[in-house]
């Protein structure tokens, strides 16, 4: 049996948590510090470590595993594809796996929404897609400045990093990151200040210091920025402002897309028409690297090979992405599940928030979090939750939001178990005496 050596290797790899060889990993590692154990298996919404302990996963690869770990149908499709010697790497060559993905994406996602987008496959990470989108917008408009928003997160390569708000990611003043002007996200100054109107005024005033932008780059829900949601009306205003000032509207749907908010695109039913959309994270459905830039045909002004990348053709990702679309986006079942599970999580978080002074439940769909007011407190709650078998992380400017990103497919029973652990962690952290949930 050809795989026996792999099995042997697997058996021999029983490391003590945090022991050699992880110490040789750069100091830059982060999630592994929050969850200091060695994982060996994962299925659906659970992960199992080398001691045999199983954890519920409310991190889901930062929304890269919206359909859970190792979906059996995707696994089967992958095994079958490999066993018939399907291409794994294909640059941007035409392959059967890519054809099937493109056709399925058009049939199930684009056509039903009347969206005419062209598809650009970039290098397989979110930040690659953002780089391509920004470069194209600059080429199309002949303008250099891009507007991005407070608390926005768009990746950590230099172009995308310039558009990212978080100072730690930008390495403070150590790197010059030109070409981006910051605007205020919806609600940044409270509910009573219309930050879209402010942006329009700044762009309209020849003496504001704002140049006409190539693009406005925005998330409908800011994942890393703390689960801040933009209202549909604000998004429509931003769309109108982009068009008024001759800028392209780029919606970064890398984290919010692929069902996290309950619909495939986070802006479905908002009544906006983005010129460019970026997708990555859960696009392959299996955690395989894949990124996609959707471009309105009017703006598809690339020359052949003007923007390339060795790993634009991850055919294994095309295979699983096709299954993900066919399995989850052919009917409304997942959408309804997300709605129901979203209510379940919201209720549980609301219940927890009653006991944390000043805390706020944020988000929509299954893109939810509890802002507990301080990074220290949120971190301590997540730490305690991990102790009880739940993998969950924080986000926000100061890490003050406990972020619930359970796979969309998490069975209600498991979701409830995870929420009970979280509740207990909150309770223990605050040392409050109550037993509800
Ligand atoms: C994760 C993320 C990115 C960057 O994706 P990488 O694959 O980490 O490069 C960009 N935008 C948003 C909204 C993200 O959540």
Residues 334-389 pLDDT 10s: 999 999 999 999 999 999 999 899 999 999 999 999 999 999 999 999 999 999 99
* pTM (2 d.p.): 0.95
Distance 291 CA to ligand 1 centre (A): 10
For the segment(s) 73-328, the CATH number from 3.40.640.10, 3.20.10.10, 1.20.1440.230, 3.40.30.10 is: 3.40.640.10
- 65 C-alpha to ligand 1 centroid (Å): 14
Instruction: Give the pLDDT band (50/70/90) at residue 264.
Output: very high
Average pLDDT (208-212) is 96
Q: Does residue 17 have a pLDDT over 60? A: no
CATH class of the domain whose range is 6-70+332-436: alpha beta
Ligand 1 pocket check: which of 61, 148, 149, 255 to mutate, most ligand atoms within 8 Å of Cβ?
A: 255
> Could you read off the pLDDT of 57-92 as tens digits, one per residue?
999 999 999 999 999 999 999 999 999 999 999 999
CA of 356 to the centre of ligand 1 (A): 30
CB 313 within 8 A of CB 284: no
Per-residue DSSP letter, 293: E
pLDDT tens digits for range 94-129: 999 999 999 999 999 999 999 999 999 999 999 999
Q: Is the CB of 255 under 6 A from ligand 1?
A: yes
Extract the tokens encoding 418.
């995870």
Q: What are the strands, taking DSSP E only, across 367-423? A: 367-371, 390-391, 393-395, 401-404
User: Using CB atoms within 10 A of its CB, is residue 72 exposed (0-12), middle (13-18) or buried (19+)?
Assistant: exposed
Confidence of residue 430 (pLDDT cuts 50, 70, 90): confident
Predicted confidence band at 20 (pLDDT cuts at 50, 70, 90)? Answer: low
Ligand 1: which residue has its CA nearest to atom 10?
154
pLDDT-derived band at 9, boundaries 50, 70, 90: very low
- Position of tokens 């939750």? 385
Same fold for the pair 6-70+332-436 and 73-328: no
d(CA 211, CA 427): 50
SS3 label, residue 228: strand
Kindly list the domain boundaries of the chain, sorted by start residue: 6-70+332-436, 73-328
């Amino acid at each position: 049996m050809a795989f026996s050596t792999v099995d042997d290797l697997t058996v021999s790899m029983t490391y003590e948590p945090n022991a050699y060889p992880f110490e040789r990993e750069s100091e830059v590692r982060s999630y592994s510090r929050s969850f200091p154990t060695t994982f060996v298996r994962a299925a659906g919404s659970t992960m199992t470590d080398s001691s045999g302990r199983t954890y519920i996963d409310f991190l889901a690869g930062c929304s890269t595993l919206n359909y859970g770990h190792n979906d059996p149908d995707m696994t089967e499709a992958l095994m079958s594809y490999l066993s018939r010697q399907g291409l794994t790497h294909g640059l941007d060559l035409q392959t059967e796996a890519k054809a099937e993905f493109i056709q399925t994406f058009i049939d199930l996602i684009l056509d039903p929404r009347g969206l005419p987008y062209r598809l650009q496959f970039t290098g397989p990470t979110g930040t690659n897609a953002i780089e391509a989108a920004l470069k194209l917008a600059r080429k199309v408009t002949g303008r250099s400045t891009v507007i991005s928003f407070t608390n926005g997160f768009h990746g950590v390569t230099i172009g995308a990093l310039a558009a990212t708000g978080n100072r730690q990611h930008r390495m403070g003043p150590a790197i010059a990151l030109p070409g981006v002007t910051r605007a205020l996200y919806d609600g940044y100054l409270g509910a009573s200040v219309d930050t879209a109107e402010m942006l329009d005024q700044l762009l309209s005033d020849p003496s504001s210091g704002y140049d006409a932008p190539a693009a406005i780059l925005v998330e409908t829900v800011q994942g890393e920025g703390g689960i801040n949601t933009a209202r549909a009306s604000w998004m429509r205003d931003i769309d109108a402002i982009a068009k008024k000032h001759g800028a392209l509207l780029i919606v970064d749907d890398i984290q919010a897309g692929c069902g996290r908010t309950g619909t495939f695109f986070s802006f479905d039913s908002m009544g906006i028409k983005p010129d460019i959309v970026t997708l990555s994270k859960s696009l392959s459905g299996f955690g395989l690297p894949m990124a996609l830039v959707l471009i309105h045909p009017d703006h598809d002004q690339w020359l052949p090979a003007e923007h390339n990348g060795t790993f634009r053709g991850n055919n294994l990702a095309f295979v699983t992405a096709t299954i993900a679309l066919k399995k989850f986006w052919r009917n409304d079942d997942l959408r309804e599940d997300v709605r129901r599970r979203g209510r379940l999580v919201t209720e549980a978080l609301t219940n927890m928030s009653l006991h944390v002074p000043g805390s706020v439940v944020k988000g929509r769909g299954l893109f939810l979090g509890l802002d507990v007011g301080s990074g220290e407190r949120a971190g301590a709650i997540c730490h305690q939750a991990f102790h009880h078998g739940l993998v969950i992380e924080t986000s926000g400017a100061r890490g003050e939001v406990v972020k619930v990103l359970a796979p969309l497919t998490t069975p209600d029973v498991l979701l409830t178990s995870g929420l009970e652990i979280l509740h207990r962690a909150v309770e223990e952290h605050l040392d409050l005496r109550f037993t509800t949930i």
